[in-house]
Amino acid sequence: MFNWYVGLLALSGVIMLALAALRQGQSNTSRTVNGIFGAVYLGYAFYLAFLFDGGSYLIFFQAFILPVVMVVNFFRNRTPQPKLTETQKAWREYQRSAGR
């Protein structure tokens, strides 16, 4: 169980750092949050894997909610807005003017 936890922490950190490196469709705040938490997750995984001597530790599976939320947010913000053709624009204008 310990090895799975460390592996998931490391994977979450790498994914969040990769999201922070991408510039497309994200605000600077979102990229900064991804970078900070990605570094924290990866650092904690490194600590647990290589520096932790044993003893008791707590596993917080709630910590994996944040990476999921950040990935969902990344893909939701990347969804392009549809570009209307001239015919579609004229049709929408007609519908607005007709009061439909």
Q: What is the pLDDT along the chain (100 residues), one digit of tens a residue?
A: 889 999 999 999 999 999 999 887 788 898 999 999 999 999 999 999 999 988 888 888 888 999 999 988 888 877 677 788 999 989 989 998 987 6
* Cα gap 47→99, rounded to integer Å: 64
pLDDT at 76: 83
Closest CA to 94 of 32, 18, 86, 53: 86
CB-based contacts of 15, cutoff 8 Å, min separation 6: 38, 67, 71
Burial label, 19 (beta-carbon count in 10 A; 0-12, 13-18, 19+): buried
- What integer pLDDT is reported at residue 20 of this predicted model? 93
Overall pTM surpassing 0.85 (yes/no): no
